[in-house]
A and B are shown apart, each in its own frame.
Chain A
């Protein structure tokens, strides 16, 4: 499986904008699911993960503007402050775009270690904004970044797999 994923070069996996939009929408909806209690602490940030995926794999399709827009939508849904998620996602997308060549050099396990600091940065920005404006900070929030980083490999495999049949049909 990893070999096939590794074999998949970016140019062999064309992607449609609708697929990107659908993946982001699904990620948003996953984030909006009613997480409660313990699960809320462990809730991974699917939007950040999908954004990072697209920013590293298709840096010219998904950029900071899309990240910001999605962040605004997340803010509305989360009833967080306007721009809180947007700021975090913008920084995340920026870092992903800047580091996309470096990240793609590694295999999936190493990629997880590479993207973890990026996610941590986004989480830290969100938490910092919250801390600055609301005055409190909850450290459990950062557990989510670990869970999100661990989901990087499964998500990559899933999205690559979803993209591949499209490429195959195009080839045929």
Chain B
């Protein structure tokens, strides 16, 4: 009954104080009951059933936001991870490439070692420092010089064959003229039949020319040329080149024979310097022999 009283005043207006007292008392009663007793839990749960869908409705956008946020953050993290992995991948690939290079280098060094064990000549390993960028000169510079007892005239080879000859020695490096240099000549022998010849560089990286061979000379494609050792500079028996083309034109007195160096003249990074300086002292003797030969020749001539 008391509750109707304020409602009656509602339309007339001025009794807010009464209503305030009423509702304030009601609120305080509810507070008291709520705190002291647990009678209102059912009412609260009943009302909350009413309120719950609205609350769900209200939280839906934020939930959706969180989901979208999660989606995009995971998307972002995926993109980031992907970028990181890609970066790592490029780094790894670079390292893998280095590994490949190292592998090849290791294999090459092993081969050199075997050559060193195979060959009787004392050798030392040298590394190419740089290649002269001169198209007229086929020369490389090695990192061993007089400090390592490198002498001009020593032979440089790799695991498969002759590469060149030391032509100039500096304290810490030495200049090697490759067998493909235009001015370089190597006395060789055809392995198949022992035919002697001289192979000249052609100035081209992959080509040597076997000059001054008669058209009738017994040379075929695929013949292997090894050093003859006649000059006293190159030790005998080292592979130099392989014949790749033989042109026999009757118009010319000599056959045109092209060879390819067996050694990787332009490929290697480590090379062996043959310390044939042990033989070098023999050379004056050879000269002496030559001088002694002269009288012999003369004797022959006399004969």
Contact = CB atoms under 8 A, between A and B. Distances in A.
A82 to B, nearest CB: 4
Interface residues on A, range: 20 to 34
A129 to B, nearest CB: 6
B23 A82 contact: no
A87 B31 CA distance: 9
A91 interface: yes
B20 A83 contact: no
Interface residues of B, number: 34
Contacts of B26: 68, 83, 86
Q: Is the contact region of chain A dominated by helix, strand, or loop, or is it mixed?
A: helix
A72 B47 contact: yes
Given A68-B23, A73-B47, A90-B27, A32 B34 contact: no
Contacts of A87: 23-24, 27-28, 31
A133 B31 contact: yes
A90 B54 CA distance: 23
Contacts of B102: none
A65 to B, nearest CB: 7
Most buried by A among B24, B26, B57: B24
B33 A94 contact: no
A83 B34 contact: yes
Contact of A65 (B10, B33, B34, B59): B10
A77 B20 CA distance: 23
B27 A83 contact: yes
Given A82-B34, A83-B26, A34 B62 contact: yes
Contacts, number: 99
Nearest to B7: A65
A162 interface: no
A40 interface: no
B62 A83 contact: no
Given A63-B16, A98-B16, A81 B47 contact: no
Contacts of B24: 87, 90-91
A30 to B, nearest CB: 8
Interface string A62-73: 011101100111
29 contacts: A29-B54, A30-B58, A32-B51, A32-B59, A33-B58, A33-B59, A33-B61, A59-B13, A64-B6, A64-B16, A64-B23, A65-B10, A68-B27, A72-B30, A73-B47, A76-B47, A76-B51, A81-B34, A82-B33, A82-B34, A82-B44, A83-B26, A84-B31, A86-B30, A87-B23, A87-B24, A90-B20, A94-B19, A97-B16
Given A64-B16, A83-B27, A90-B24, 9 more contacts: A28-B54, A63-B10, A65-B7, A82-B30, A82-B33, A82-B43, A90-B20, A93-B20, A133-B35
